[in-house]
Every structure is written in structure tokens, then in C-alpha cells.
Amino acid sequence: MSGHSKWSTIKRKKGAADAKRGKVFTRVTREILMAAKEGGGDLSTNVRLRLAIDKAKAVNMPKENIERAIKRGSGESKEGTFDEVMYEGYAPHGIAIMIECVTENRNRTVADVRHILNRANGTMGEQGSVSWQFNRVAYFAFPAESYDFDRVFEIALEGGADDVSSDDEMIEIVGAVENFKSISDLLLKAGISPEESELRMIPNQEIELNVEQSVQVMRVLEALEELDDVVNVFSNLKISDEAMEALE
């Protein structure tokens, strides 16, 4: 299981605590906002919005909250606008990170991100200084116990996926960004609901550190993800089972 998958596993286990703090509502609301801003409020044509709403329903977000976020994102409401921005930098021990944010105040967001990195002996980078180490892909994940791998494999292949893999916990699909909609539509038609479905940054090559160093980096990733404006944090850290156990 690759590092980005293990980090997703860690985040899922922390999901209940996040929900209690309302953190999940904040994050999902911003996903809906950006999806509606990018592709409009029509669910039949905006796959990203449809998936964001599915996430909102999964965490029991009230219907009125969802509708308000759609209107705000699509411009029907005048409550203020949000921008999507990606920051680049390095965590401790030279680990490259990409920080995806949705914010209505870029100055505040970049100051918060820089503060966490500086405190941990990391650094902010210029645009392009880190992104060359990552590829943007369409990504889907499902509990392995809930779906037949061969069936998922066939559907993913038909939709244009580049890779389908599985371990004891999750089935993962990775494909080109332009195939996100075709894969999503076929999964929906087959009645398969991804636990995760998004565009994400996957590193070209992962870096393995010792357990103590890995935990230090994961603490920084956690701190960044705690920021309200941060939607996702991607890194090229290869997370070992031992590092996962040590963090937990």
C-alpha cells in the first residue's frame, strides 16, 4: 500500500473526531463551493459537484447547508467568493509537499501555512519548485471487503483507468484527469460508491525515512490539515507500517 493510501487510512480513522469538531463540515462545504464555482450547480453535468454532495450526505450535512454552498459557489448568492490555491514547499527531512487550499483570504492562509512549516524546520517554495515531483490524477478508493475486485477492474478499465490495485483494506483506481468523469459515471451506473473520489497529486517517487523522522513529517501534515482553509495535503513520504503504528 503506497504512502498516499496509508495517509488516507490515517485520516479516515481520525474522521470521527473531525466530525465532532465540525471540521468535516467546513472542508466538505468548501469542496462544494469550488465544484459549483468551476462547473455550475447542475448535478447532471458537474461530476465533481455530485461527488462533493455525496461526501456531504455521508457526514450528515443538513440539506440547507448543501444548497447554500451550491448557491454561493455558483454565484447565485452574494455571500462572498472563495479561491482555490495550491501552495508548495518542504516538510522536515526534505519531504516535498503540495497543500491544496480553498480560501476567501489568501494572505491569512499563506501566513498560517508558512507558520506551521517554519515552526517544523520546513520551508515554503516558489510556484513550480515542488510540483514537478508530482502528477495530478483521478483517484477513487473503495473498501476491499465491499466490492468484487474483478468487477471494479473491468469497470475502471472501460472508463480509461491507468491502474487498479488492491490490498486487504482498499481497492484503488488511478487514471488520467480527463477520464475522471467517464470512470465516475460508470461506477455510478454500476451502483458502486467510492469512499474517496477526487483529483489528487501523486508523487513520481516516494522517499522513505526512519520511523522517528516519518512521524515528525506526519505530525506536520496533520497540523497543516487542521487548518480550516486546507482541503488536502499531498507528500512524497513513503509511510511504513511501523510509522503508522508509532503515529497512532
Q: Within a domain: residue 111?
A: no
Q: What is the pLDDT of residue 102?
A: 87
Using DSSP, state whether 77 is helix, strand or coil: coil
Q: Locate cell 512524497: which residue? A: 236
Residues 167, 41: Cα–Cα separation, whole Å: 36
Domain count, the chain: 1
pLDDT in tens, 121-168: 999 999 999 999 999 999 998 888 889 999 999 999 999 999 999 887
| Alpha-carbon span 142 to 170, nearest angstrom | 6
Hey, which residues does 50 pair with through a beta bridge? Answer: none
**40: in domain:** yes
Distance CA 237, CA 122 (A): 14
Region 180-208: mean pLDDT is 89
pLDDT given for residue 13 in this prediction = 55
pLDDT score at 1 = 43
Determine which of 35-39, 112-116, 233-237 has the lowest per-residue pLDDT on average.
35-39
Flag whether the pTM goes above 0.85: no
Residue 41 lies in a domain: yes
Q: For residues 86 and 58, which has the higher predicted lDDT (pLDDT)?
A: 86
Would 146 be classed as within a structural domain?
no
In a domain? residue 54: yes
Please compute, for residue 45, the number of CA atoms within 13 A of its CA located in the half-sphere on the CB side: 6
Q: Looking at residues 190-203, what average pLDDT do you find?
A: 86
Give per-residue pLDDT as tens, 94-103: 999 999 998 8
Domain containing 19: what range? 3-74
Position 15 pLDDT exceeds 60: no
Q: Does residue 133 lie within any of the structural domains?
A: no
Helices and strands, counts by H and E, the chain: 10, 10
Report if residue 7 sits inside a domain.
yes
Return the minimum-mean-pLDDT range out of 58-67, 75-84, 96-105, 164-173. Answer: 75-84
Tell me which residue of 40, 18, 30, 47 sits closest to 140, measured CA to CA.
Answer: 47
SS3 readout for 145-180: CCCCHHHHHHHHHHHCEEEEEECCCEEEEEECHHHH
Percent over 70 (pLDDT), the chain: 90
The CATH number that applies at residue 34 is 1.10.10.200
Please answer whether residues 213 and 197 qualify as being in contact, where contact means their C-beta atoms are separated by less than 8 angstroms: no
Model confidence pLDDT, tens digit, residues 29-40? 888 888 888 888
Q: What is the pLDDT of residue 157?
A: 95
What is the average pLDDT value for the chain, to the nearest integer? 86
Residue 14 falls inside a structural domain: yes
